[in-house]
Chains A and B, each alone.
Chain A
């Protein structure tokens, strides 16, 4: 796995730039990852990012967009406004988690 330096920390990433070790993530790193994709994190963003982190710790996989929406009570439309274009992927990226799995 390639290693890169983000916000002064050496982290392992995959070929799409997603962190491969969720334990290397921190809030500071999250802010920097968000900045790299042009997002300034607000409280609304943080609520979702922290939900993703907690849910991953419990479930062992990244929550789907629907799960994030249902569990946090955030309309999907708002998720698209907060993380434009590809919210599921962008949220996972910022939270230092693998892309949510689409099923075959």
Chain B
């Protein structure tokens, strides 16, 4: 390619071969490079730039990715930090090191996007022009949105594990915990990785058992949903597991405020749940610049076509990962499968062709259930998580929605796949489209 370009450049500068080329040919080759700007260098954004850099010629596309800092966290690791099952340095790496050559990483906070001018302004005054924009700024826990959640006891008796700092603070709190009421609480759906609060509860049961504190601890799971989970088959299986582990479930509980002094959660319908240690999942919201730019819904998620991730309002904007409003889990596996579909589509889109690939909402995740076991969920927009088996390349079939040691080992192994295959954009051998092979349909699984 390089030789070809310099050949043409020589021709353009007036070389003797000039007359040998038709005019249209020159016009194409002198078109200025187009610009793809990606906001957010997390799971989705990193995969997008790494995949597309290999697919789009540098002579045609400049790729820039913006993030506020240089720390990329393996977020599934947050779940294990409070129990000392993983070390902090296994969770965090530099974003720079994860982004392929030929992509520029800009550190800065996004102020707003102007879709008409096709311009992103940063809070420090810099602006970035784009031809195509990808928003991949995810979703963030917002304790400031619930009265009383932030306060002197934040990251103490009011803990959380959805941030690096919070997970580390919770490790201290749990190490000092001597029994009482441990309340695991979800503020409002949707949340990032919606099974994580249940996993936390199962791991806490295990952790307290090993420390001889389980009989002195009442574990309560408080949810705004009407069951352990929304999808019926998974809710049933997970509900059994909670009952087996003597975990009480408080359903339909929508928190109005946290009273840190009395150590109670108070709901809108005036129910109270007392705690000694609270582990809450605050309201999750998309980035504030989405709201400032007039691009979001009431939780700052950008409405998109759920099959192409293209903004319903602005055809030059795509939204990947947790930042969009697609009706499925906010989870890394959704980001992974949807980015694979998007990369194929974007190559067509960049050529001015129609996009021919469609994302079906496919997601799968290992659900840690304590005692060195885990379950596996696999689902999409139309099919809920089912029981049965899942054909995993090389490792063989994994059991779906049933606890097994193999699933737990799969979950542990995933961290290596994440850093070494997933983020660099290498194939994992998992199809983006969901398959029914091995699954037991809901109608006959009861």
Residues of A within 8 A of B (CB): 61, 65-67, 70-71, 76-77, 79-80, 84-86, 89, 101-104
State which residues 340-390 of B face A: CB under 8 Å. Answer: 363, 377, 379, 384-385
A76 to B329, CA, bound (A): 24
Q: Which of A76, A102, A104 has the most CB of B within 10 A?
A: A104
A103-B252 in contact given A66-B299, A70-B298, A76-B268 (Cβ < 8 Å):
no
Interface residues of B in 197-229 (CB under 8 A from A): 225-226, 229
Chain A to chain B contacts (Cβ below 8 Å), 11 pairs: A61-B327, A65-B254, A66-B298, A66-B299, A76-B256, A79-B268, A80-B269, A84-B269, A85-B252, A103-B329, A104-B234
A8 CA to B190 CA in the complex, in Å?
39
Task: Compute how far the CA of A46 lies from the CA of B269 in the bound complex, rounded to whole angstroms.
Answer: 21
Interface residues contributed by chain B, number (CB under 8 Å): 27
Known: A103-B330, A104-B377, A104-B384. 12 other contacts (CB 8 A): A66-B299, A77-B256, A79-B268, A80-B268, A84-B269, A85-B252, A102-B189, A103-B190, A103-B327, A104-B230, A104-B234, A104-B363
Q: If A65-B254, A67-B298 touch, does A102 touch B225 (CB 8 Å cutoff)?
A: yes
Task: Bits for B288-320, please: 1 = Cβ < 8 Å to A, else 0.
Answer: 000000000111000000000000000000000
The distance in angstroms between the C-alpha atoms of A79 and B268, with both chains bound, is: 9
What residue of chain A has the Cβ atom nearest to residue B269's Cβ?
A80
Q: Chain A residues with Cβ under 8 A from B188's Cβ?
A: 66
Chain B contacts of A70 at CB under 8 A? 298
Q: Which residues in B have their C-beta under 8 angstroms from that of A67? A: 297-298
**Most chain B CB neighbours (cut-off 10 Å) among A77, A84, A101, A103:** A103
Interface residues of B (CB under 8 A from A): 188-190, 194, 225-226, 229-231, 234, 252, 254, 256, 268-269, 297-299, 327-330, 363, 377, 379, 384-385
Q: In the complex, what distance in Å separates the CA atom of A85 from the CA atom of B234?
A: 25
Return the chain A residue nearest B377 by Cβ: A104
What chain A residues lie within 8 Å of B269 (beta carbons)?
A: 80, 84-85
B298–A102 touching, CB < 8 Å: no
Q: A76-B254, A102-B225, A103-B194 are in contact. Are A71 and B328 (CB under 8 A)?
A: no
CB <8 Å contact, A101 and B327: yes
List, in ascending order, chain A residues with CB within 8 A of B194's CB.
Answer: 103-104
Q: Is the CB of A71 within 8 A of B298?
A: yes
Residue of B nearest to A65 (CB): B254
CB distance from B391 to the nearest CB of A (A): 21
**In the complex, A45 Cα to B67 Cα: how many Å?**
45
